[in-house]
Amino acid sequence: MATTTNPPAGKSNRIGLSVMDYRGSKSTLCAGCGHNAISERIIDAFYEMGIEPEHVAKLSGIGCSSKSPAYFMGRAHSFNGVHGRMPAVATGAAVANHKMLYIGVSGDGDTASIGMGQFAHLMRRNLPMIYIIEDNGVYGLTKGQFSATADVGSKLKSGTVNELPAVDTCALAIELGATFVARSFSGDKKQLSALLKAAIAHNGTVLLDVISPCVTFNDHEGSTKSYKFMKDHEEPIHDISFVPSFEEIDVEYEEGTGIDISLHDGSRMHLVKLEEDFNPTDRIQALKRLAEARAKDEVLTGLFYLNPNAASFIDMLNLGEHPLGTLPQELTRPSKKVLDAIMEEYR
Ligand SMILES: Cc1ncc(C[n+]2csc(CCOP(=O)(O)OP(=O)(O)O)c2C)c(N)n1
Ligand code: SF4
Ligand SMILES: [Mg+2]
């Protein structure tokens, strides 16, 4: 499916909203920051999918990346949590109201440094939410120190070289149990848009690691998260197109060049394989391919792993139709009579 970039303001989507209804405040991030490009793609994806902004909850931690929910979907609910603790807030919110669509925006520091413990438990629960890491390899907000996703040998502007191995958040998410794991690049509009729309249609945890250069502290020669490095080393594993469930599925694909994957809401993803043998439903193969890429200094992008059939955390809790947060007190707390009877037992 063709991907549009910020459709003209006069047009409206299938629920009658214009793209302006999906915008937020004016960005205060540096001009050229990859995070701004990701906000634009999020605006496009939610507009094109016709999601009601009031039906969305945006969550984040602390960092330049975590500020970005302010710059898209101003009409959605929003909560800016403590550094690295967004997963706990997301889990609580989703259990209280499982009818909302949750999108979390975090940074590589917020996720893989201070937030590592919370991130690990979110991935293993398969909570239905889209978790985006805006990954620049540094703590942008506090002036560019290395984060845990910085590659061995990458250099800061000051000349300091990183000697610690990087955490591969995608490999970790697959290992821990996330059911939609992908990597993209903020400068790759087509791929990032298709992945975001497929992420909206997925029922389970989506981990989307987006390489997002920090133009102020990590975009120089020697950085492995710079625009130039990404242009030279990005290795897409397939060409992705996405057809939402509300569109007539009449797209014809060339036989034998790719695979079709159905998502839980009936949307379809078509992957044209650039690598003959890559199948994103094979978990072991995804982990192997990521390890091989790391050994070759390739930045692999695309959809690495998808399991559209796994039970989500909300399915496992069997929460029923009505969100807990909207139930009246008579249903959520014992009556006075029952409480009095319990108290009587302790006399
Ligand atoms: C508990 C706590 N420790 C440290 C900080 C300081 N701090 C603020 S943002 C940040 C790192 C943000 O890095 P990242 O998540 O990669 O976001 P970026 O700014 O690069 O987008 C740190 C260490 C803090 N705010 N709170
Ligand atoms: S300091 Fe870096 S991460 Fe922060 S807004 Fe500027 S370019 Fe973006
Ligand atoms: Mg960062």
> Residue 202 above 90 pLDDT?
yes
Residue with CA at minimum distance from ligand 1 atom 6: 142
Is the CB of 68 inside a 6 Å radius of any atom of ligand 2?
no
Helix H, strand E, coil C: the string for 111-146 is: HHHCCHHHHHHHHHHCCCEEEEEEECCEECCCCCEE
User: Mean pLDDT score of the chain, rounded to an integer?
Assistant: 93
Contacts with 12 (C-beta within 8 Å, 6 or more apart), sequence order = 18
Average pLDDT of the residues in 70-99? 98
Contacts with 296 (C-beta within 8 Å, 6 or more apart), sequence order = none
pLDDT in tens, 239-265: 999 999 888 665 555 555 678 888 888
Residue with more model confidence, 136 or 333: 136
Residue with CA at minimum distance from ligand 2 atom 1: 140
CA of 79 to the centre of ligand 2 (A): 21
> Residue 6 above 80 pLDDT?
no
Pairing of strands 234-236, 205-211: unpaired
Average pLDDT of the residues in 4-30? 87
pLDDT in tens, 277-293: 788 999 999 999 999 99
Against a cut of 0.75, is the pTM above it? yes
Q: What is the pLDDT of residue 249?
A: 60
Q: What is the pLDDT of residue 200?
A: 97
